[in-house]
């Protein structure tokens, strides 16, 4: 069985879902941010400036930068309420309505009279946004923190800015633990670009959609019709009885991960197809695939749940 998103009609579009401009703490104006991503071959971005009062709660209108080959989704990075470590929440809301009501978040310090992280995440999801838990490692999230965001669609498995500038860019352990607790989550790779250092063009999503429009892209994101990457391409994933077959760009390692510590891999040179026997993973409630190239760059499939196929 060829799995989603590879079996889904449409085209893969490359996009970054976490980006900042000089409307908040980024270095570049929105027009230049969009120009650079387009010049680097991206099909879309979401400009997710910080939704706090210091900058008048911006939801930046990037529609003037749309053309036949490039589009944008309205987005924000939400900050409201304290995590267990006392730090302010960081949550992405992609596809947010332009009239989304601000929380009482005047700056980057939690306040006792503001929405909690779970509350603002739920409100954004009800408003139609794709909600993601941003940079779990950088934020110092606990598992109880992560469990509390019941409205999340996704977790940042890789944040390029947090990786490049603080070596705290992964969300992988938290994602796998949530999956093993039964949470049906997808995973995204992002830049979190501010253009003040090497924080851009390092992590993205490949979204399978019928058209490169905000509406089609948002629907595909919510449906999990995408994979995440630092460079490698995944061309297809098949579940064939007790094995998984993967086709991809040239890779050195193809891994299938499962519940607990279970994983199996195929190692080779310039692999463009690999068959991974599931073995003890055959009874795992979820599986996911990682493709690793010679440079150590990765592509990650979304988890799939065999019993639901």
Residues 238 and 225 in one domain: no
**Per-residue pLDDT tens for 144-182?**
999 999 999 999 999 999 999 999 999 999 999 999 999
159 closest CA partner among 172, 173, 145: 172
Query: What's the pLDDT score for residue 151?
Result: 98
Among 194, 229, 264, the domain boundary falls at 229
CATH at residue 39? 3.20.20.140
Query: What's the pLDDT score for residue 232?
Result: 98
CATH at residue 279? 2.60.40.10
Query: What's the pLDDT score for residue 152?
Result: 98
Q: How many domains does the chain have?
A: 2
Residues 104 and 46 in one domain: yes
* Positions in the chain whose pLDDT score sits under 50: none
Residues 60 and 174 in one domain: yes
Distance CA 114, CA 49 (A): 19
Among 212, 229, 246, the domain boundary falls at 229
Residues 97 and 202 in one domain: yes
Among 198, 229, 260, the domain boundary falls at 229
Distance CA 286, CA 126 (A): 27
Q: Is residue 5 part of a domain?
A: no
What 3-state DSSP class applies to 5?
coil
Query: What's the pLDDT score for residue 237?
Result: 98
**Per-residue pLDDT tens for 199-242?**
999 999 999 999 999 999 999 999 999 999 999 999 999 999 99
Instruction: Name every residue whose Cβ is closer than 8 Å to that of residue 46 and which is 6 or more positions away in sequence.
Output: 15, 16, 17, 18, 19, 72, 73, 74, 75, 92, 94, 95
Query: What's the pLDDT score for residue 211?
Result: 98
Residues 247 and 170 in one domain: no
* Residue carrying structure tokens 């650079």: 36
* Residue carrying structure tokens 């965001």: 149
Q: What's the domain range around 294?
A: 234-308
Residues 135 and 254 in one domain: no
Residues 263 and 144 in one domain: no
Distance CA 171, CA 159 (A): 8
């Amino acid at each position: 069985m060829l799995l989603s998103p590879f079996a889904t009609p449409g085209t893969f579009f490359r996009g970054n879902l976490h980006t900042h401009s000089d409307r908040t703490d980024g270095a570049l104006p929105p027009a230049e941010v969009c120009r650079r991503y387009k010049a680097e071959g991206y099909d879309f971005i979401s400009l997710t400036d910080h939704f706090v009062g210091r900058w008048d709660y911006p939801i930046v209108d990037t529609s003037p930068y749309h053309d036949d080959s490039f589009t944008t989704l309205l987005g924000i990075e939400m900050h409201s309420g304290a995590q267990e470590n006392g730090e302010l929440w960081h949550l992405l809301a992609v596809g947010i309505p332009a009239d989304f009501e601000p929380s009482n978040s005047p700056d980057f310090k939690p306040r006792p009279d503001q929405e909690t992280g779970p509350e603002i995440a739920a409100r954004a999801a009800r408003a139609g946004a794709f909600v993601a838990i941003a940079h779990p490692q950088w934020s110092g999230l606990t598992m109880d923190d992560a469990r509390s965001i019941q409205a999340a669609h996704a977790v940042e498995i890789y944040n390029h800015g947090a990786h490049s500038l603080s070596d705290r860019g992964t969300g992988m352990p938290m994602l796998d633990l949530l999956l093993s607790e039964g949470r049906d989550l997808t995973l995204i790779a992002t830049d979190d670009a501010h253009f003040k250092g090497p924080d851009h063009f390092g992590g993205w999503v490949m979204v399978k959609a019928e058209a490169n429009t905000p509406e089609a892209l948002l629907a595909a994101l919510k449906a999990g019709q995408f994979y995440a990457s630092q460079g490698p391409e995944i061309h297809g994933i098949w579940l064939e009885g007790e094995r998984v077959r993967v086709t991809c760009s040239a890779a050195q390692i193809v891994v299938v991960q499962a519940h607990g510590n279970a994983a199996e891999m195929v190692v080779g040179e310039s692999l463009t197809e690999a068959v991974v026997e599931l073995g003890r993973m055959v009874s795992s409630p979820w599986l996911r695939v990682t493709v690793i190239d010679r440079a150590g760059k990765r592509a990650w499939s979304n988890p799939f749940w065999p019993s639901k196929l």
